[in-house]
Chain A
C-alpha cells in the first residue's frame, strides 16, 4: 500500500479522529511546533460524537471534584474564553440556572452549590422562587428554587471545532479524511495502515471517540475500557421560542429522574434535551417520535409557552460513555501513544484543556510557533453581525438562516471544504432553519454540483 503524502518523511504526531477533541489536539500540537497529521475515518470532520450536543460552554461546576474531567473542563473553559475572540468564535453569555421542581430536587441544591465552590466556580448564587420568576417570567411557577451559574455560556459547537482544525491546517498540519486506521506497528516510531495508505509518525494519539476502544485494540492489542454509547435526543424549537427564555435551564440530577436542559442556541433557537439512552450501536443516532413527544411535554412543563412554538428539527447525539465515570486518558509510554477515551458530553467545553493535558503527557520537543496564522471562520451567530449585513454578500441563499451566497462559496472553496451536505450545513447553517430546505435545496444542489463526495442529487444519475 502506498504511503500518503510526504513520502519518506514522518510526522511527529498522528491524531486518530477529527472530532472536537482531535481538532483541539491538532491545533495544540501544531502551535507547539509539531508536524501533525489527523486521520479521520469519515468523509468529513465532526461526523461522530461531536456532531450532536447541547452547545453549552460549561464551567464544570457539577463535575466530580478532583476528577480529570473537572480539571480539563476548567482549563478548557479558561482557554476558550481567551482564544474565542481571536478565532472569531461567538460566545453568548447567557448564564445558567439549576432549578428544582420538587422537594427531592430542592434538597439537593445546597450540595450542588457546595460542589460548585469545590470546583472553583465561586460565582454561583442561590435563587429564590420569586427571583427565578422575576428573571425568567415565562417559566412555570411550579419551580421551587435553584441557583445561578453566571459563567455557563452558549457557543457554536461546529465552528469551534472547525476553527481549531483550520488553525492547525493554516500552520502546517495535514488532515486526511476517509482514512480509517486499520492497524499499526510500533518500532521506535509508528507505522499506521489506513484505508488511504500508510502513515509514519513518532507518536499516536487515539481520539477516536465512539471507536476509542476499537482503535486501542487495533494499535495496542488491548483496551482498558469499553465504549457504551449513550444516545441523547434533542428537540430544536423555532427562533420565536427564544423570546421565552434567556438563561439556560439545567436540571438537578437525582437518582430517580434525569431531567432535561432547556437552552437557547447561539443560532437563536431553543433546545430541549437530551435523553440518555444506553445502546450497543455506535452509529444509530435515530430519533423516535414517542421520545420526542415526551421531551416536548417535559419542555412544556417547565416552559409552558413552548406549547405554541413550532419545532424546527430534532436530532440525536451519541456520547462515548464507558464503564468508568471519569475520562480515560492514558499515556502508554512504551508505545509513544496516548489514548483519549470516554470524553462523554463535556468534550466541547474541555477539548482545549484535554489538549493541554495531553501535550503535557507527551512532552514533544518542538519549538512553539512565534507568530501562528490565525484564520477566521464566518460567525454564524444570531446574536452577532452576519455576512448578509455586509456589502457584496451576493444575496441570500438560505432565507431561514440568512446564509449568503458568499458565505457558502467561501466554505466550498476554502481550505477544508465539506464532503457532504451535512458538512456544508454545519459550516454555514444552510437548510438548518424552519423550512428545512423547502426553499434552498434546489439552489444548493446546483451550487454544490461536483463539489461534494456525496451529492444532493441522485448518485446513479451521473
Chain B
C-alpha cells in the first residue's frame, strides 16, 4: 500500500485541533488533514449545550455547539481537510499513521503530526467506587452526549459525584433536562471548583457533601441509591436513579500508549519540550492531551501557538538537544513541558504549567546542578491553572536536567 501524503496531519478535531488546522492553513504550510473519529468534528463543546464559549476567540458569548460549529467552519473555510469517521489506529515513527475508515483500513504519511486527542473523565472504576454495577452511572461526557446529541434522558434525579467546573456543567445539563440533582458529593475536603460556586448550589437547594468517604453504589439493574460516610462519619444514603461521575480528567492517551512516543506519568500525556514537540520530533501535541484539563479558550490559543511552532519547524527544525525538566516533590503532580530545548529560545511556550497534588504555598526554585536558574512564589490548589514563567530558566541555558523544588 502506498501512503497518501500530506504536510501536517492533525489527530483529533476538537477545539485545539481545529484552531491549529486553521492557523496552519493561514500561514500556508501546505496540505493539512484533520482526522476526526466522530461523525462530526468539534470535540467536547459539541455536547456542552450551555454558555460561556467563544469570548476570547470570537468576542461573542456562545453555547458549546455553536462554538464547535464555528471552529469547524473556520477551519474548513481556511482550506483544512476534515475527515470524519476516521480513526487513527497506530502512530508510527516518522509521521506515518495507520487509519481505519468506514470503508476499511488506510494510511497517511505526514511531515508533521499534531496530536490533539483531548481528555476524558475518570470512570467509576478508576476511582475505585465500591458497590453494585447497575445501569445509570455516567460520566458528564456521556450524559451530555446522550442529552444534546441524541435527545436521550438518562435519569430523573441523579447525584453529581465531584465538584469541579465540569460538575457544574453537568448541573446545567440537568437544568436543561428540567431535572434537579439530589446532591453533589465530593471526596476532597472542600469544593474543587472555586468556592464562589457554593451559593449556586445553595440557591438551587442541592445539598453539597465534601470530604465524603467509602462511597458505594447500590442497585440491581438501575442505580437505586448512593451511600457514603459524610465528613462526620455518619452514613448517608441518597435514593437516586443515576450517578454522574464528573471530572478527574485524564488525557485521552490510548493511541499514545500503543505507540513509540514517550509518556509522562505525571500528566498521562506525551513528554514534550517547550515547542510541544514529542520524543519523536515529527510529532507535536496541543490542547488537553498535554495535561488535564483546560478550558476550550485555552486549548484554542494553544492550538494557534502550536500551529506557528509547527510551521516554523517545517521550514527549519528546532535543535534536538534538550534537557529534562523534572520534579521530585510529591506536592507537584506534573509539569509541562517535561523537556527544555535551551539552544533555541524563541517561539516556545512562555510559561510552564504545573499541576498540584495538594494545596501549596511555597517558594519554587528551578535548579540545574548547583545553580539556581530561577525562583518565584507558588500558591495554588489542585485542578487549578498554575503557570510560571519559563524565560529566565531557558535564558540560563541549562545543559543538564533542571529540577523544580519547593521550599516552605
Residues of chain A having any CB pair with chain B under 8 Å:
236, 238-240, 283-289, 292-293, 308, 310-315, 388-396, 399-400, 402, 405, 420-421, 433-439, 441-443, 445-446, 449, 454, 456-461
Beta-carbon contact of A314 and B125 below 8 Å: yes
A457, B146: Cβ atoms closer than 8 Å = yes
Instruction: Kindly list 18 other residue pairs between chains A and B, CB separation below 8 angstroms, not including A310-B126, A395-B39, A437-B138.
Output: A236-B125, A286-B133, A287-B130, A287-B133, A289-B129, A312-B126, A396-B37, A402-B87, A405-B102, A437-B123, A438-B120, A438-B142, A439-B141, A441-B138, A445-B154, A446-B152, A458-B153, A458-B155
Residues of chain B at the chain A interface (Cβ within 8 Å): 37-39, 47, 85, 87, 89, 100-105, 120-121, 123-126, 128-133, 135, 138-139, 141-142, 145-146, 149-150, 152-156, 214-216, 220-222, 241, 250, 252, 254, 257-258, 265, 268
Interchain CB contact (< 8 A) of A421 among B103, B135, B268? B135
Are A390 and B265 touching (Cβ within 8 A)? no
Q: For the complex formed, measure the closest distance between the CB of A44 and the CB atoms of chain B, giving whole angstroms.
A: 12
* Cβ contact within 8 Å between B89 and A388: yes
Question: Which chain B residues lie closer than 8 Å to A433 at the CB level?
Answer: 254
Q: A434-B254, A438-B142 are in contact. Are A392 and B104 (CB under 8 A)?
A: yes
A437 touches B102 (CB 8 A): no
User: In the docked arrangement, what's the CA distance between A314 and B138, Å?
Assistant: 16
Residues on B with beta carbons closer than 8 Å to the beta carbon of A236 = 125
Quick one: which of A283, A287, A441, A457 contacts B131, CB cutoff 8 A?
Answer: A287
Closest chain B residue to A401, Cβ basis: B254
Contact B123 A438 (CB under 8 A): yes
B104 A393 Cβ-Cβ under 8 A = yes
Give B141 Cβ to nearest chain A Cβ, in Å.
4
Q: How many A-B residue pairs have CB under 8 A?
A: 146
Verify A441–B146 contact, CB threshold 8 A. Answer: yes
Q: Are B154 and A289 in contact (CB under 8 A)?
A: no
Assess whether A292 is in contact with B128, with CB atoms less than 8 Å apart: yes
Residue of A nearest to B129 (CB): A289
A394 to B135, CA, bound (A): 27
Ranked 5 nearest A-B pairs via Cβ = A442-B145, A391-B104, A436-B123, A441-B142, A395-B102
Q: Is the CB of B258 within 8 A of A435?
A: no
Contacts A314-B128, A402-B89, A454-B135 given; indicate if A392 touches B103 (C-beta within 8 A): yes
Measured in the bound complex, the distance between the Cα atoms of B342 and A246 in whole Å is 41
Contact across chains for B100 and A389 when beta carbons are under 8 A apart: yes
Point out the residue from A286, A441, A443 that lies within 8 Å of B132, measured CB to CB.
Answer: A286
The reply to whether B133 and A285 form a contact with Cβ atoms under 8 Å apart is yes
| A239 cross-chain contacts in B, Cβ below 8 A | 254, 257-258
Cβ–Cβ contact B132 & A442, under 8 A: no
Partner of A393, one of B102, B138, B258: B102
On whether the beta carbons of A238 and B257 are closer than 8 Å, the reply is yes
Indicate if the CB atoms of A461 and B153 lie closer than 8 Å. Answer: yes
Which residues from chain A contact B89 at a C-beta distance below 8 Å?
Answer: 388, 402
Q: Verify A437–B139 contact, CB threshold 8 A.
A: yes
Given contacts A396-B100, A400-B254, A433-B254, contact A457 B152 (CB under 8 A): yes
Are A457 and B132 within 8 A (Cβ)? no
Residues of B within 8 A of A311 (CB): 125-126, 128
Indicate if the CB atoms of B252 and A435 lie closer than 8 Å: yes
| A442 and B265 contact, Cβ closer than 8 Å, known pairs A396-B37, A437-B142 | no
Cβ-neighbour of A395 out of B101, B139, B241, B268 (below 8 A)? B101
In the complex with contacts A421-B135, A458-B154, A436-B124 CB distance below 8 A: yes
Task: Give the CA-CA distance A314 to B220 in the complex, in Å.
Answer: 17
Give the nearest-CB partner of B131 in chain A: A286
Enumerate chain B residues within 8 angstroms of A284, measured Cβ to Cβ: 132
Do A446 and B142 touch across chains, with their CB atoms under 8 A apart?
Answer: no
Most A C-beta atoms less than 10 A away, residue of B126, B220, B268: B126
Chain B residues, Cβ within 8 Å of A456: 135, 146, 152, 154
What residue in chain A is nearest B155 (Cβ atoms)? A458
Which of B130, B221, B241 is the one whose CB lies under 8 Å from A289? Answer: B130
A402–B100 alpha-carbon span in the complex (Å): 9
30 contacts between A and B (CB under 8 A): A238-B257, A286-B216, A288-B130, A289-B128, A289-B129, A289-B130, A289-B214, A289-B215, A292-B128, A293-B128, A310-B268, A314-B125, A388-B87, A390-B104, A399-B87, A402-B87, A420-B135, A435-B120, A436-B123, A436-B124, A438-B142, A439-B38, A441-B145, A442-B142, A445-B150, A454-B222, A456-B135, A458-B154, A458-B241, A461-B153
By the criterion CB–CB under 8 Å, are B150 and A442 in contact?
Answer: yes
B135 close to A313 (CB less than 8 A): no
Query: Could you tell me the distance between the alpha carbons of A436 and B250 in the complex, rounded to whole angstroms?
Result: 13
User: Given the complex, which residues of A lie within 8 Å of B154, measured CB to CB?
Assistant: 445, 456-458
Q: Are B100 and A393 in contact (CB under 8 A)?
A: yes
Which of A238, A289, A310, A442 contacts B149 (CB under 8 A)?
A: A442
Give the distance to chain B from A451, nearest Cβ to Cβ, in Å.
Answer: 14
User: Once bound together, how far apart are the Cα atoms of A313 and B100, in whole Å?
Assistant: 26
Indicate if the CB atoms of B100 and A388 lie closer than 8 Å.
yes
What CA separation (Å) do A443 and B142 show in the bound complex? 9
The residue on B at minimum CB distance from A241 is B257
Q: A119 to B126: give the CA distance in the assembly, Å.
A: 40
| CB-defined contacts of B38 to chain A, threshold 8 Å | 439
